[in-house]
Every structure is written in structure tokens, then in C-alpha cells.
Chain A
Amino acid sequence: MATTETPKTTAQTTDTPRGLIALPQGIARVLIAVGAVGTIASTFMSWTYTSDFPGDLTYYGSPAGLQILALVAGALTLLYALTLWHVRGLNWLNPASAVAPVALAAASAFAVCWFSAIAIAVDLEGLIALDPGAYIAAIFSLAALLGALALPQPGDTPKSYLAKPENIPTAAKLPEWVERLVITAATAAALIVFAYGIGVDPDASETFLGYILLIVFGTWALFTAGLFDRISVLNARHKGFATSMAFLAAALFPFVENDEHNSNLGVNILVVATVALGLNIVVGLTGLLDLGYVAFLGVGAYAAALVSGSEFSRFSGVQFPFWAAMLTGMLASLVFGVLIGAPTLRLRGDYLAIVTLGFGEIFRITVNNLDGTSGPNITNGPNGISMIPDLEIFGFNFGTAHNIGSITIGRFANYFLLMLIITAIVVVVFTRAADSRIGRSWIAIREDETAATAMGINGFRVKLIAFALGASLAGLAGTVSAHVGYSVNPAPYQFAGSVPPNSAFLLAAVVLGGMGTVSGPILGATLLYLLPEKLGFLKEYQLFAFGIALVILMRFRPEGIIANRRRQLEFHDTGQLDIPESGLPDTTVGVTKAGA
């Protein structure tokens, strides 16, 4: 009897998916829910006694700073814990009833709470600085995490707690207006999340780090739940609607975050994002590694500055109207792009990279030397051209604040809206060019230049078009950036530096965000611009942090944060056949357990 029973039980134990922590499932679930509720409750208590800690976490009854983040993380954990019980109305959050999103949501709460507690202890005078609220947050968030780890392990290794399950059912087709509503809601949520991040006080690096932790784990949780896939399906189905919603949300930004400093941040982000998008044509679509791209931004900025009517300009009497200044900037960059491209584009790969790097530096050094002593005085040398007057369109001066309803739109907010229009134009140019005969030939050249020429593509010509288009888009952004920043000088237009618009930064934005996509470089530029801005303590370690971030990303997600459609297909394509919906493993386990 015993001999016949033993193999059976061993078979059962190997079959039964177990958690990392041995706890009955029911208790695990309750533990998560209680942990989440406790975390939420703790955010209404004081975490530290002094308001010295950024965000002022001393109040009872009103969460602030990191507590808000903990509150959101706790709420997310609670919602996902409830999906394990198949609570009505919440199933859409976790269509596959997977463990991974629950674990990741709990991890987000844990990360935020423990980070806060540790930060308080480190910033102030040790553990004594922690109020009971912080202890409660730490204990309950840990409980939730332990509960999540006690859930049956979905795969063979503990890693599977973090992996997206394969058998996520596809969403049922909803009525058209519901789908649009979902897109609207998702866009609004994204706007709120983004505006919160940008609105974090620059001195409150701790809060911003907590925000990053929450974003990373939270989006990861939503991703493993399959919600991002569903949204991207919806976006693809209502492409025009989704794009216009995204731009509408961006246009609402100055109204939501009505503060000149943040609007300035917004403009600068849009400038680098637009330039990164232009670079994406060259690097992402055509596969030409351009290390001197920032020079084109510089050419555009200088061209606009020279015809702006500034008294420091060589042509101070000349003041072009807005549209003419933009065209001048674009044309100057275009000419410069063709001049650089024509001799260099015969090279391939690394050689091209080195030569473009050289040309980029040539621009900066030339501008530095055209100061009247080393060469003819055109650019005013290292002093640059300052006091660039504000743009004026049809009598609308961008320098003065305007009132729309009860909301004041300040100088930077004006420029933000202008830049947003330019970004929209660049997005349209990018998408239309990419999905056409010329775009296909760019991609073909990136994939295999020899085969592309054998298919009748004039490689040089097509590459030059890509180069020139990328350059003129950067020039366009440059014209606005010159006016936004009041002045231009040669210093920022270098290969690598600690101030954002430099070639290495732009390239990093493209690679980090996802080459060949529209949203990738925009997201990449946003992240790379915002992180150093909000994390004041990084300062001189910025480039170092960049490097580490890139290495980590290349190790774990080489396709960038936002994967290209092709790359997505690549992952998608491996399972051509629809995987049959596997019978619920959880319930069968329950049955065998009950039977045993």
C-alpha cells in the first residue's frame, strides 16, 4: 500500500504549483488583501514627525508626496488581489487571472513604502524619525508581498512571478463608443500620471524616485496583465482617434500643470523629443548611425537667431516673420544636411558614425571661431546671440501671458502649444514617410543594403533623402528652441555633455525609447530629460547613470521600451497558431487537493 501511494504523492507535489513561501492559497490571498488595505490606511497617518522630509508626510488624514504614491500602489494591489477572487466587474484588470500582475502590484507597494521608510531614516536621524504610520506601511506592504509570493508559482523558476503569461485571452469586441471611451480614459490617466511626475518639486528627489518605482512596477504589472496589449490593439483600431486624443492630452498639459517652470520643462522636452523623432528617421528607419545630429538643431537655432532681429545678431536689422524664420531654419539645416551627407553617406556602419561625429564637432568649433578674431564675425563666437525677441504670429506675441477663461497661459505655455503643433507635424511626417515607398526603401537599406540596391533602390539617393529630412526636422525644432531660450551659443551642440541637447543624449533617447517607433523616442527623450531634472543629486553622475541605464536596458530589453511593430510581430509570430485556452490550472489544483 505504502509503496503504491508514495509515487502518487510525489507526482502530486511536483504537479501542484507552489509558491515560494509555503502558505495555503486562501491565506495568501487574504494576506495580500489585508496588506493592501493596511498600506492604504497607513498613508492617512503620519510617517515622520518633521516637515523636513520632502513632501511633508506629517499629517494625519491627508496623504502627501510619497504617501500618495503608496496609496496608489496599495489601491492597485488591492484591486489585483480582488481579481484573484474573480470579483465581478474587475476581471478586465486581470483577464488571465495571472499571478504576475498581483505580485508586481504588491512589489510596487512594497518598493514605495520601504523606499520611503529607508529614505526617511537615511535623510533624518535614523529609525527614530519614523512615525508609526511608516512602520505600518512597511509591515503591511511586506505582508502583501509575502502573500503574493505565496501564490502558486506560475512557471518553473521564481522569475515567472515577473513574466507575462502566454495565454491571455483576447478582449471581446466592444461597441465603438466604448472603445473610444477606453482610449480616452487611458489617455487621461497617462496625462495625469505624467503631469504628476513633471509637477514633482525638483528638490524632492525622494518623491520622484518613489514615483519612478511606482511607475516601473505599476506599468510592469499592467503589462503582465495584458492591458497594454489590449490598449495597443484599440489604438491600432482607432488610430486617428487615439493620436488626436494623445495630442489633446498633451495640449491640456499647460492647463493641468499651470506653472511657468513646468511649462518650460514641457517645451524643452518637446524640443528634444521632436529632434529625437527626426533622428529616428536616420537611425531607426534607415539605420545610419549619426553621432553628430545635434549640429542640425544648432544650425536651425542659429539661422533663426540670425534673422530674429536680435541686436547681437550680425544681421540685426533683419527680422523675419515667424513662418519665414522657420523656413530659414529648416532650409539652412537641409543644406547643411546635404552638404554633410553627400560626402559621408558613401560610407557604411562605423565609418559613417565616426565621420558624422567629426562633422558635428566641426559645426560647434566653426561657430565658436566665427567671432571676428579667428574668422569673420557671423555668430559672435562663444558669446552666442542673445536677446532673441519673442515670436509673433498674427499679432499674437508669444512672450506675453494670455488668459483663456480663468487660466493664465504664460510665455512658456504659449511656446509649449506652438512646439506641440510642430511635434504633431513631425509625427505626421514621420508616420507618412515611414509607411510609403520611400520609407520601405529606408528600412530595406537598414536591413540589407546590397539586397536593397539589387532591388533597384538607389542607396545613396535614398539615404541622402533620409539624412536631409532628418536634418530639416531638427532645424525646425531648432528655430523654436532659439526663441524659447532667449539666446543661442555653441556650447550645448556637442557630442556628449551634461546638458540635454547633445548627440549622445538624442541617440540614447531613440535607442532607449525604441528605434523606428513614433512614441519610443518621445518617451525616451521625456524620460532622459526629466530624470536628471528631478533627481538633483545625480548632477555630475548624470552621464554615468545614462550609461548604466543603457547597459541595463540593452541587457533586458534590447528593442527599447516601446517595441517596434516589426519587433512585436517578431515575438508574436513565434506562436502562429492560437494557443488553445488552457483549462484553469488553479481550479484543477484545488480539486486534486480536495480529493487528496
Chain B
Amino acid sequence: MTTTTATSPVLEATGVTMRFGGLTAVRGVDLTVNSGEIVGLIGPNGAGKTTFFNCLTGLYVPTEGRVAYKGTVLPPKPHLVTSAGIARTFQNIRLFANMTVLENVLVGRHTRTKEGLWSALLRGPGFRKAEAASRERAMELLEFIGLAHKADHLSRNLPYGEQRKLEIARAMASDPGLLLLDEPTAGMNPQETRATEELVFAIRDRGIAVLVIEHDMRFIFNLSDRVACLVQGQKLVEGTSDIVQNDERVIAAYLGTPFEGAPGSEEAAEVEAAEAAEAQGTTSTEGPAQ
């Protein structure tokens, strides 16, 4: 699956711009996600990553630009985007707290089932069949993320890491072609982060393209085939992990650039000079003071 369709783009966002009054949160961002690909989206806080996500999923209607999924332009309504095939998770977990784990996943099946009120009231064989199929699929997904044994628990009672996993399972229940993960490892310990990494790879292996927002650099650079960096609403750079990792503008965006007459710049220069003297042959002249 990954090899056959590796080149076809799943998501094409071109010139997406989002303005809130005078504030331009996202400015002319282009982003393409190909099938079977994991793309990372990084950027400092307030760079517009989540706003961009919301533009992709129809929660916001972009002021300019177009978002296309597998060649068709997406309607600007969240539920239509989901039924088109893009599912998402949220930065701050938004599970249905008072529903059970299984029910949460079943809600995710909403777009892939059709039974309306009448069939629910009449309970014909079609309804039972569809319900059983939904349950089976949901249990399979819970098995996949390793929460099958907690299917009857209320989702609010799950530990944090499992809530994150459940959110992913719920999103996957809509059989998406593209999964958008908004900071899936926020607040996780290193073990949990590693487990999430494995999970994302496993999701990719199921033929689902993944777009991830993350602040954990090690996680994102391990995971992603490509990484794009947003700064102040604009895409600064896009490329493989190595390219982005070593891009000076990215480093500057995260750590800042020293400027003329900045407090401490003299000391920094001294240290630098000393270091340069110590280790001969260094080429760096403006790297940030360590």
C-alpha cells in the first residue's frame, strides 16, 4: 500500500491564510501530505499550527486558499471534512468524558454508518447488523491501541496516556485517509512517547497518512518523513528531518538570534572567541551562545 500509492497526494493545502480581524494567524501556507507519509508540523508556541489544523478540518473557514483531500476541495464544515476522510485529535484531550471507552469509538464510526432514528426505533435486522459491525470494528480498534480490556470503563477514568490513545482510536474509527494529530505526546513521559511513536508507525502501516503537530523534537524528527516548520503563521522551511533540524532559521525561531548590543552579547562573544581559540577550525560565527 505504502509503495504503490506513495506519490499520490492525500492532502493539498495551497495558500491557506487565516485572519482574525487584523491578526493574520496563518499566512499563505502550502502543505502537501502524500499517502503513506508521516509529516510533522513544528513551530514555536503561537506560530499558528493549531489554527492551520482547524483550517484543514473545517473548524475555521480559511480567509484565503484552498484545502483539497485526494483532489477534491473540502467543504468548510467539520463533519463533512470527517466524512470525506480526514480525522483529527485535539491538543487538549476532548473525549466524551461520560461515555464508555467503547462508546467513544462508536461515535467515531458515525460517518461510516447510516442508521437514522427510524431504524433505531424499529430495530430491524439491518440495524442490528450495522450495530454489531460497528461494535466489532470498534473493538478491533481498541485491540489495536491496547485498550480492549477497558472497553466498559468511562473514558474520564482512564489515565492520561490512555486517554490520548483513545482519542486516536476514536479518530481512526472514521476510517480516515489522513489522520491529524495535535500534540499527541503532550504531557507524556519518555516511555509513553516511545509507545506513541510505535503507534503512529503502526497507523501509517495501515495505509493512513499522518500529519503531526508536536513540540517534542526528538519524537518528531524520529517519526516524520518530512517536517514543516511554521513561524508566525508562515512556513519557514520544509524538508526531511536533517534539513529542518540544521536549518539556522529554525534554530533562530526557537532560540532567538543574537542582535547587536544585546545584553550579554559581549560575554557571549568572549566565550565564543575562547572556544574558537580552543578548538581550531570552527566555521561558526553567529551560532547561538551555549
Contacts and interface: CB of A to CB of B under 8 A. Distances in A.
Given A437-B120, A438-B116, A450-B59, A456 B103 contact: no
B123 to A, nearest CB: 6
A455 B100 CA distance: 16
A455 B90 CA distance: 11
B98 A433 contact: no
Contacts of A432: 120-121, 123
A569 to B, nearest CB: 5
A5 interface: no
Interface stretch (B151-159, B202-210, B256-264): B151-159
Contact of A436 (B79, B108, B131): B131
Interface stretch (A128-136, A138-146, A204-212, A441-449): A441-449
Contact of A570 (B78, B117, B157, B171): B157
Contacts of A457: 79, 107, 110
Contacts of A437: 106, 109-110, 113, 115-116, 120, 130-131, 134
A452 interface: yes
B110 A441 contact: yes
Interface in A448-491: 448, 450-459, 465, 469
A569 B154 contact: yes
Given A429-B121, A441-B107, A457-B107, A448 B83 contact: no
B149 to A, nearest CB: 11
A455 B174 contact: yes
A428 B122 CA distance: 10
A450 B100 CA distance: 18
A283 to B, nearest CB: 15
A450 B154 contact: no
A462 to B, nearest CB: 9
A254 interface: no
A568 to B, nearest CB: 10
Contact of A459 (B79, B87, B153): B79
A436 B88 contact: no
A573 interface: yes
Interface string B59-82: 100000000000000000111001
Contact of B99 (A429, A436, A443): A443
A587 interface: no
A433 B99 contact: no
Contacts of A455: 79, 82, 87, 107-108, 110-111, 170-171, 174
B132 interface: no
Nearest to A458: B79
B111 A436 contact: no
B57 interface: yes
Interface in A533-578: 566-567, 569-570, 573-574, 576
Contacts of B255: none
B120 A433 contact: yes
Contacts of B110: 437, 440-441, 455-457
B14 to A, nearest CB: 23
A560 B111 CA distance: 33
A379 B125 CA distance: 45
Nearest to A441: B110
B111 A456 contact: yes
A465 B116 CA distance: 10
A152 interface: no
A440 B99 contact: yes
A439 interface: yes
B113 A443 contact: no
Contacts of A458: 77, 79
A574 B98 CA distance: 14
A569 B59 CA distance: 32
Contacts of A465: 117
B94 A456 contact: no
Residue of A440, A453, A455, A459 with highest tally of chain B CB at under 10 A: A455
B148 to A, nearest CB: 15
B103 A440 contact: yes
A569 B155 CA distance: 11
Contact of B96 (A436, A451, A456, A459): A451
B97 interface: yes
Contact of B79 (A438, A443, A456, A573): A456
Contacts of A443: 96, 98-99, 103
Given A429-B121, A469-B117, A569 B100 contact: yes
A570 B154 CA distance: 7
Nearest to A576: B153
B181 interface: no
A28 B208 CA distance: 70
B127 interface: yes
Contacts of A452: 96, 107
A454 B78 contact: yes
Contact of A566 (B78, B90, B98, B113): B98
Contacts of B103: 440, 443
Contacts of B108: 455-456
Contact of A456 (B59, B82, B116): B82
Residue of B87, B120, B152, B174 with highest tally of chain A CB at under 10 A: B120
Nearest to B150: A576
Nearest to A453: B78
A437 B88 CA distance: 20
Given A436-B127, A451-B96, A456 B83 contact: yes
B111 to A, nearest CB: 3
A138 to B, nearest CB: 47
A576 to B, nearest CB: 8
A3 B131 CA distance: 72
A446 to B, nearest CB: 8
A447 B99 contact: yes
Contact of B94 (A428, A436, A451, A574): A451
A443 B107 CA distance: 9
Given A450-B59, A456-B83, A573 B96 contact: no
A444 B99 contact: yes
B120 A444 contact: no
Contacts of B94: 448, 450-451, 454
A165 to B, nearest CB: 22
A429 B78 CA distance: 29
The 10 closest A-B pairs by CB, nearest first: A456-B111, A436-B120, A456-B82, A447-B96, A451-B94, A453-B78, A444-B107, A573-B157, A566-B98, A458-B79
Given A432-B121, A570-B156, 15 more contacts: A433-B121, A437-B113, A437-B130, A438-B116, A448-B96, A454-B79, A455-B170, A455-B174, A456-B110, A456-B111, A456-B174, A566-B98, A566-B154, A567-B98, A573-B157
26 contacts: A428-B121, A433-B117, A433-B121, A437-B110, A437-B113, A437-B116, A437-B130, A440-B107, A444-B96, A447-B97, A447-B99, A448-B97, A453-B59, A453-B79, A454-B59, A454-B79, A455-B79, A455-B108, A455-B111, A456-B82, A457-B79, A459-B79, A469-B117, A567-B98, A570-B156, A573-B154
